[in-house]
């Protein structure tokens, strides 16, 4: 048994805010976990520092499942993004340690590679259609086989997912959330034309994805799905706010466009109905918000039973530790679908050193023992935390809209 002797929380902002957990064992083995919850970072940092780290000292680092159950059941208050992100960070760090102790990359501990590489989708954006088409062309040139396309919506001053020129996606930019506007009618008219323009210019030999970001009602989503059928989408993502799981029956009744949901979920219970009633095609839970590798695997196994494939969240607000962990799971699970890959800024890469590689549309995790990622703590200190929030969205009449 190798006891945990130190548990440290690192908050750093190289380009954007990240919370990292560092666990050290009596043998000097270090494990890294991602505890970042965009816009609510310090809540998780405190949950870890004040409530979890003291409980970890002296525990056997090798008993991952037991530690997971201890933290989940032991809290009494179950689930929720803060709790599950904190548990995820511990879990990811313990898998990292187990891999290092075994001298194997984590995917080997999960059963070994079930594929040669991890199919990856990138983001292409544009303030108008010509700019989007240029960005799609650039990503196809880089070798991507799957592209998520977002463009501005006429009448909407700041559209989610479309960075202003020269800005790195995405807009967690201000200490008080910026306010944008939303116009569903304009979006529903415009989105099929935009995605149609992408197909018209580049054809059908690559996967095309689109993120609706929870903004429609079920019947509006049914219409969008129907209007997009001719463009053969790989998926539309988060068509409606998914707290209402049964609402997806209505979308399904109207369209064969595949549906992906799950980045805001944090447990298997949040997607139970969507999966068991086959209301979605892809489950997008992330390793760092859904309880770590241990719980993500459980969700993916349930999904496998119902023919639902995986599509791990991989936005830039998840640190390279999360991406490394996700890639290890992606490589091993039988029902893998696709992995999101937004990339990270150079500043982020200065702090988080990772060994995953990208070639010809596929990512591959590092073959180093564990997760193959480490944090330069001195570099981390150079980037102090500053509060940064995602924008909010209002309709024309000033009322709040889902964003
Ligand atoms: C995506 C997502 C993200 C989220 C972000 C919130 O599909 O990548 O929608 O961009 O908005 O992760 O923190
Ligand atoms: Mg999304």
Ligand nearest to the CA of 262: 2
pLDDT at 157 over 80: no
Please give the Cα distance from 370 to 94 (Å, whole number): 9
Q: Transcribe 303-368 into DSSP letters.
A: HHHTTPEE-----TTS-HHHHHHHHHHHHH-TT---EE-----HHHHHHEEE--EEETTEEE---S
> Which amino acid residue places its CA nearest to atom 9 of ligand 1?
213
Please give the Cα distance from 81 to 41 (Å, whole number): 11
Q: What confidence category does residue 180 fall into, taking pLDDT thresholds of 50, 70 and 90?
A: confident
Torsion of CA 217, 223, 226, 228, to 10 degrees: -80
Q: How far is residue 23 from each of residues 8, 224, 312, measured CA to CA in Å?
A: 7, 46, 25
For range 382-386, the mean pLDDT:
96
Catalytic residues: 160, 213
The pLDDT value given to residue 181 = 87
The H or E element that residue 159 is part of is none
Burial class (CB in 10 A: 0-12, 13-18, 19+), 376: middle
Q: Residue 262: CB partners within 8 Å, gap ≥ 6?
A: 242, 270, 271, 274, 280, 282, 283, 284, 285, 290, 311, 313
Q: Which atom of ligand 1 is nearest to the CA of 123?
A: 8
Per-residue pLDDT tens digits for 249-278: 999 999 999 999 999 999 999 999 999 999
Backbone angles phi, psi at 158, to 5 degrees: -130, 110
Ligand nearest to the CA of 85: 1
pLDDT at 246 over 70: yes
Asked if the bond preceding 170 is cis, omega within 30° of 0, the reply is: yes
For range 315-335, the mean pLDDT:
97
pLDDT at 98 over 70: yes
**Hey, what domains does the chain have and what are their CATH numbers?**
4-104 (3.30.390.10), 109-369 (3.20.20.120)
Enumerate residues lining ligand 1, CB below 6 A.
38, 170, 211, 213, 237, 263, 315, 317, 340
pTM: predicted TM-score of the whole model, two decimal places? 0.97
Positive/negative CA dihedral, 288, 293, 294, 295: positive
| Cα of 382 from ligand 2 centre, angstroms | 30
| Cα of 312 from ligand 1 centre, angstroms | 11
3-state secondary structure at position 299? helix
Ligand nearest to the CA of 340: 1
Positive/negative CA dihedral, 340, 342, 348, 353: positive
Positive/negative CA dihedral, 369, 118, 140, 150: negative
> Which amino acid residue places its CA nearest to atom 6 of ligand 1?
38
The pLDDT value given to residue 166 = 54
Please give the Cα distance from 260 to 189 (Å, whole number): 21
pLDDT at 152 over 80: yes
Q: What confidence category does residue 403 fall into, taking pLDDT thresholds of 50, 70 and 90?
A: confident
Share of the chain above pLDDT 70, in %: 97
Q: How far is residue 87 from each of residues 45, 64, 137, 267, 381, measured CA to CA in Å?
A: 12, 11, 40, 11, 24
**Which of 89, 6, 161, 146 minimizes the C-alpha distance to 319?**
89
Q: What confidence category does residue 66 fall into, taking pLDDT thresholds of 50, 70 and 90?
A: very high
Sheet with 18-25: list strands edge to edge.
Answer: 4-12, 18-25, 30-34
The token pair that represents 385 in the structure block:
């935390």
- The answer to whether the CB of 266 falls within 8 A of the CB of 81 is yes
Q: Candidates 123, 317, 341, 389: which one to mutate for ligand 1, based on the most atoms within 8 Å of Cβ?
A: 317
| Cα of 102 from ligand 1 centre, angstroms | 34
**Which of 4, 10, 11 minimizes the C-alpha distance to 97?**
4
| Cα of 59 from ligand 1 centre, angstroms | 34
């Amino acid at each position: 048994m190798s006891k945990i002797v130190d548990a440290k929380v690192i908050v750093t902002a190289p380009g954007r805010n990240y919370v990292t957990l560092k666990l050290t064992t009596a043998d000097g083995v270090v494990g890294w976990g991602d505890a970042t919850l965009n816009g609510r970072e310090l809540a998780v940092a405190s949950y870890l520092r004040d409530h979890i780290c003291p409980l970890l000292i002296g525990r056997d680092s090798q008993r991952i499942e037991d530690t997971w159950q201890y933290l989940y059941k032991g809290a009494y208050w179950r689930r929720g993004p803060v709790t599950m992100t904190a548990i995820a960070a511990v879990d990811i760090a313990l898998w990292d340690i187990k891999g290092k102790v075994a001298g194997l990359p984590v995917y080997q501990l999960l059963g070994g590679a079930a594929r040669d590489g991890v199919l990856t989708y990138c983001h292409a954006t544009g303030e108008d259609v010509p700019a989007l088409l240029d960005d799609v062309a650039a990503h196809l040139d880089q070798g991507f086989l799957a592209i998520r396309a977002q463009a501005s919506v006429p009448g909407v001053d700041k559209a989610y997912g479309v960075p202003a020129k020269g800005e790195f996606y995405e807009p967690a930019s201000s200490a008080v959330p910026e306010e944008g506007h939303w116009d569903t009618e304009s979006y529903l008219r415009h989105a099929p034309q935009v995605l149609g323009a992408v197909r018209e210019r580049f054809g059908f030999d690559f996967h095309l994805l689109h993120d609706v970001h929870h903004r429609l009602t079920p019947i509006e989503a049914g219409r969008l799905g129907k209007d997009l059928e001719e463009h053969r989408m790989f998926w539309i993502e988060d068509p409606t706010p998914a707290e209402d799981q049964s609402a997806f029956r209505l979308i399904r009744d109207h369209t064969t466009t595949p549906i992906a949901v799950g980045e805001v979920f944090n447990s298997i219970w949040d997607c139970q109905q969507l999966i068991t009633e086959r209301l979605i095609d892809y489950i997008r839970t992330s390793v760092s918000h859904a309880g770590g590798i241990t719980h993500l695997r459980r969700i993916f196994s349930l999904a496998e039973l119902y023919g639902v494939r995986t599509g791990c969240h991989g936005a830039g607000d998840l640190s390279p530790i999360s991406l490394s962990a996700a890639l290890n799971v992606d490589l091993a699970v039988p029902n893998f679908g696709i992995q999101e890959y937004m990339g990270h800024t150079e500043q982020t890469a200065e702090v988080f050193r990772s060994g995953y590689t990208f070639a010809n549309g596929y990512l591959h995790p590092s073959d180093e023992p564990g997760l193959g990622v480490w944090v330069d703590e001195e570099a981390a200190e150079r980037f102090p935390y500053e509060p940064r929030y995602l924008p909010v969205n209002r309709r024309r009449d000033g009322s709040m809209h889902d964003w």
